[in-house]
Structure 1
Amino acid sequence: MSTSHGGAGPAWKSLAADLPASLVVFLVALPLCMGIALASGAPIVSGLIAGVVGGLVVGMLGGAPLQVSGPAAGLAVMVFGFIQQMGLAMTCAAVAAAGLLQMLFGGLKVARAALAISPAVIHGMLAGIGILIVLGQVHIVLGGSPQSSAFQNVKELPEQILSLHGPAAALGLLTIALMVVWPFLAKGKLKLVPAPLVAVVGASAVSVFWGADVARVELPANVFSSIQLPALPTGNWGVFVTAVLSLALVASAESLLSAVATDKMHTGPRANLDKELFAQGVANTVSGLVGGLPITGVIVRSAANIAAGAKSRASALLHGVWLLLFVTMLGHVAGLVPLTVLAGLLVVVGAKLVNMHHIRELSRRGEVLVYAVTVAGVVGINLLAGIGLGLLVAVLRLLWRLGSVQVDVAQVQGAYEVRVTGSLTFVGVPRLSMALAQVPPGASVRIDLAVDTLDHSGFEALESWSDTYRKTGGSVAMESLEEVWVRSGTTRPSQQVIGSQVSSNTLASEGAQ
């Protein structure tokens, strides 16, 4: 175990901070592991196994010192679909194989490539998953059963509301109320007590004293004897391969983005993303082999870890130890928790995935359309379709921006003024050529280049036109293309210096795309 902050003192001082932090993270992770297993359509024990493996394996091998890993709500909908299609045993095999891919990615040091995915797509994916979780789990909260699709869940919701199922609905709604109200009520040291723990313990205690006849969590008496071993498919390998690839890519992206976000929350050592990705792969392979859910770095648990004062990876590792002790020694306690309570917990967790701060930020940056398309695809079709549609819109938006050049030609006192604004790239060269064709031969032309991006095609188009125009008897005054190229943040294409006049205008550039 290493001390995470330079000059923070000997290891025992670090451990003195990590030990209480690990207990806080354990108390946050315990109900979430059970709830995410419920949302995934997997046995509750599969979620707890994933929590144990994520804590122990990534805690020992990870490259993000204060990140905490375990089963994540962001994969619940995807896993639910795979379990419905292939069964739990083959889904576990897919998780293990996805882990091998992640180890390969980490070994090839391509972790930062995952950060090239548009944040609008990632946030849209998580928001879509959050909506699906809410639409499905709210039926359990109200005492019913979730439907097969988002449309069916919405369609059946009014009837579900009109026929509330007594104690189950009351306990589910109580859980939601405690989750929402506790952060406002907690003062002083009580703020360290996580809302999920308060909600689950409080609602479960009410159910016990009430003697409510509701479905509760079931854990096997002997966890080790009930481990679900993975099984490879005997046919229909297409679904299996799709599961492996999608789990590997989505889990990797979520873990790495979480690691980057976690780095912003503390001043200790920065994350080694390739090492973290490799550790996530090892954890997923182990989890899949012993019947656990897929694992990612989880920002909620990581934020709780940092807020509780953790100093090193020991905190994440110890939280895995506490989860293991709970599963093996106190599993019967989980049997007191009603399923509707876990569903209420998930409704709040899912709702928080629709982050209004992200929506406002993306709106300011003009990327809300990418976000909306991704959300609509995830909710209306499926997760992979939503990601694919989001990436497509992001690429189309980029091409549109690269081609969003504006060329205005005006005649002023016998001379022609040409103002070029926006991004002058290969996409906008045809528009530039059509505008310059309006200028008659032999005139005096002044070109004002107020562009924020200039690529090689735009460079050559302007250079070629100005040279040709001068040869036909005209005069061209414009800023040196070499200077425009450099100011737009691009390496110059050649050593040739353009012999054109330098205008008095300055280039207002906000940075290249």
Structure 2
Amino acid sequence: MSALASFRHDIPSSIVVFLIAIPLSLGIAAASGAPLLAGLIAAVVGGVIAGALSGAPLQVSGPAAGLTVIVAGTIAEFGFAGAAAIVTVAGLLQIVLGVTRLGRAALALSPTVVHGMLAGIGLVIALSQVHVALGGEPQSSAWANLRDLPGQVADHHSVSVLLGALTITLLLVWSRLVKTTMLPATLVAVVVTTVVATVLDADVERVNLPANPLSALALPRWPDSPPWEVLPAVVTIALVASVESLLSAVAVDRMHHGPRANLDRELIAQGAANAVSGTLGGLPVTGVIVRSSANVAAGARTRASAILHGVWIAGFVLAGSVLLEMIPMAALAAVLVVVGLRLVSLAQIRTYARHRELPIYVVTAVGVAATDLLIGVGLGMATAALFMLWRLARCDIHVTEPEPGAWHVSITGTLAFVACGRLTRRLAALPPGQHVDVELHLDYLDHGAYETIRDWQRSYTRSGGSAQVSEVHGSWLHRAGTDGLGTGKRTAPCVTPQAPEGRGIPVPGTPRPPRSWRVRRG
């Protein structure tokens, strides 16, 4: 496809993304406790700088709801000028991570923890912004917002409640009624609510932008705090912004058939955008899946769409700020309530429940909402590590009696010393004097488990029964018998010594048979 043909697709796509980005950028800035202009600056820089340098051409960058809680805490601790300086340094750190090719390393964090973190942030956003939509003020913590919510609902309300409810209703029903991407639900909801507020001449708080945006840029100033207090904020913003951007880039790759993302280059682009955004007094920038998916759905072909959407925002801020100042803050708060709740994805919850990872998701989400982001993520990672250790040390033991007097025991998974007690109980429950065929499907066997099987086989044979132990798809038994354990997990040819009494471990008390080998395909 020629460049001109691609450009014809990119212009309409850029307009769609521009229409989505304006209300979201304003709302995220408001929820972060930052000047509203900071959100628009981040949207412009994310579009132009990150778009031009991006390793994921169809990804759109800008201020993200996932960083709202972090930015709000940073501003509360260091002031907005200090937070802007921290964003600049975080951007430089991202560039270093990209140059040193550590982009993919950020994806080593469990997706369950990442999505649980976003769900927790979404809960915090929704609980705080619902107070604004109801005409009140958000509290300092998610617990305080939840505690005061019944009183806020029962309190006397102004027309802002009507405006917030109208916005939420339109956001929920518009996409089901109208399928065109040229009229995004966010834009329609905010425009309709603004028109209603204007017609009613509602006395509500509205967007307030400086008359001359260029002269109102807030320059960063390094906080008057010790480095050990500032450094955690820098690292947190850099890492969370990097992980969210890279996960978004991977998700966008699945939506189109064009070139795949270069994650290290994408990380450099995000770092450059954050360095510029912080220098100009903007919010942190990340790749954003909502705007990116809208960009792909609208037919974007190249990075020109992301760049142009930033250009349109800049032009609109400079020439159309009067229109922006008509928007009620209750409408932006309602938008963020829906955005926050959508971060708690029911589809992801069902997926993680199916894969038995829901506790990791829930612990992370509740930890982030109840404490703070770092503690919540730490709890989630600790839970993920415990689940991993539990699965690594877990084996399945199935006992069946295919015919009278003959028993079949199948052991699958990792057979280590921690499972020896359960294995001993299951084997001891077998009736004496029978024939038992023990079949191992193992990815690991330690010496303690090997000794347990060997001792049981010796004891069962002496009591008058017959026991045959064989291994499928592995060589752990042979390695255990030849002191070859402890050399690490590996996939080996499926070979076992062939003995007259059976395969695998020979019956104790019989001469060792000649070493003959055969592969069992199982």
What range is the shorter-chain TM-score in? 0.7 to 0.9
| Correspondence for 2:356 | 366
Given that 1:478 and 1:502 are in contact with CA atoms closer than 8 Å, whether structure 2 keeps it comes out as yes
Q: 1:449-476 CA distances to partner (integer Å, 9 max, x unpaired)?
A: 134xx13xx1656667778999999875
Opposite residue 300 of structure 2, the aligned amino acid is: A
In 2, Cα distance between equivalents of 1:144 and 1:482? 65
User: Aligned to 1:384, which of 359, 362, 374?
Assistant: 374
- 1:170 maps to which residue? 162
The 2-side partners of 1:436 and 1:450 are apart by: 17
Q: Which amino acid aligns with 1:213?
A: D
**2:495·2:520 contact (CA, 8 Å) conserved in 1?**
no
Q: Spell out, residue by residue over 1:221-260, the C-alpha distance to the aligned partner (whole angstroms, 9 max, x if none).
A: 2222211111112224333111111111111111111111
Question: 1:405–1:422: 8 Å Cα contact kept in structure 2?
Answer: yes
What is aligned with 1:113?
A: 105
Query: Aligned with 1:192: secondary structure?
Result: coil
| Contact 1:204–1:338 (8 Å) recurs in 2 | yes
Q: Where do residues 397-416 of structure 1 align in structure 2 (5 Å cutoff)? A: 397-406=387-396
Residue 511 (structure 2) aligns with: none
Matching residue's letter, 1:375: A
Contact 2:420 / 2:449 at 8 angstroms: preserved in 1?
Answer: no
Q: List alignment gaps of at least 5 residues for structure 2.
A: 478-487, 505-517
CA distance in 2, matches of 1:107, 1:431: 50
Whichever residue aligns with residue 491 of structure 1, its letter is R
Shift, 1:491, TM fit: 3.0
> In structure 2, how many angstroms separate the alpha carbons of the residues matched to 1:196 and 1:126?
20
Of 128-137 and 169-178, the range deviating more from structure 2: 169-178
Q: Is the CA contact 1:419–1:447 (under 8 Å) kept in the aligned structure 2?
A: yes
2:7 to 2, 15, 24: 15
Counterpart in the other structure of 2:514: none
Structure 2 residue aligned with 1:6: none
Q: CA deviation at 1:409?
A: 8.3
Q: Which of these residues, 21, 26, 42, is aligned with residue 50 of structure 1?
A: 42
Matches within 5 A, 1:40-439: 40-187=32-179, 189=180, 191-406=181-396, 419-424=410-415, 428=419
Partner Cα distance (2:240, 2:416) in 1: 32
**Structure 2 match to 1:5:** none
Residue 159 of structure 1: CA displacement?
A: 1.9
What is the Cα deviation at residue 185 of structure 1? Answer: 2.2
Kept in 2, the 8 Å contact 1:399–1:427? The answer is no
Give distance in 2, aligned partners of 1:128 and 1:423.
34
In 2, are the aligned partners of 1:402 and 1:427 still within 8 Å (CA)? no
Name the CA distance, whole Å, in 1 between partners of 2:288 and 2:337.
17
CA-CA distance at 1:220 after TM superposition: 1.1
Task: Mark the CA change 1:322 to 1:482 in structure 2 (over 3 Å): closer, same or farther.
Answer: same
After superposing the two structures, state which structure 1 stretch, 428-437 or 65-74, moved more: 428-437
Task: Provide closer, same or farther for how the CA distance between residues 438 and 209 of structure 1 changes in structure 2, counting only shifts above 3 A.
Answer: closer
Q: Structure 1 residue 29 and structure 2 residue 21: aligned? A: yes
Partner Cα distance (2:275, 2:438) in 1:
61
**Contact residue 81 and residue 221 of structure 2 kept, 8 A:** yes
Structure 1 CA distance, aligned partners of 2:266 and 2:45?
Answer: 15
Deviations 1:400-429 (A, max 9, x none): 111112457899999986542333357647
Report the CA distance shift for 1:142/1:410 in structure 2 as closer, same or farther (over 3 A).
closer
TM-score (norm 1): 0.87
- Which secondary structure does the structure 1 equivalent of 2:258 belong to? coil
CA distance in 2 between counterparts of 1:346 and 1:104 reads 33
Shift of 1:215: 1.2
One-letter amino acid matched to 1:421: T
Cα pair 2:25 2:39 within 8 Å, conserved = yes
| CA distance in structure 1 between the aligned counterparts of 2:339 and 2:89, rounded to whole angstroms | 28
Task: Report how far residue 175 of structure 1 moved.
Answer: 1.2
- Over the aligned positions, Cα root-mean-square deviation in angstroms equals 3.2
| Equivalent residue pairs, number | 490
Distance in 1, Cα, partners of 2:320 & 2:5: 30
- Counterpart Cα distance in 2 of 1:506 and 1:209: 81
Q: How does 1:441-456 map to 2 (within 5 A)?
A: 446-451=437-442, 454-455=443-444
Report the CA distance between 1:192 and its aligned residue. Answer: 2.6
How far apart, in 2, do the equivalents of 1:367 and 1:338 lie?
41
Q: Which moved more, 1:178-187 or 1:384-393?
A: 178-187
Q: Percent identity over the alignment?
A: 48
In 2, Cα distance between equivalents of 1:417 and 1:170: 69
CA contact (8 A) 1:133 1:347 kept: yes
Contact 1:450 1:507 in 2 (8 A): no
Shift of 1:182: 1.1
Is the Cα–Cα contact under 8 Å of residues 164 and 330 in structure 2 kept in the other structure? yes
Contact 2:441 2:472 in 1 (8 A): no
* Matched-pair contact (CA < 8 Å) for 1:142–1:164: no
Residues 444 and 465 of structure 1, relative CA distance in 2, 3 Å threshold: farther
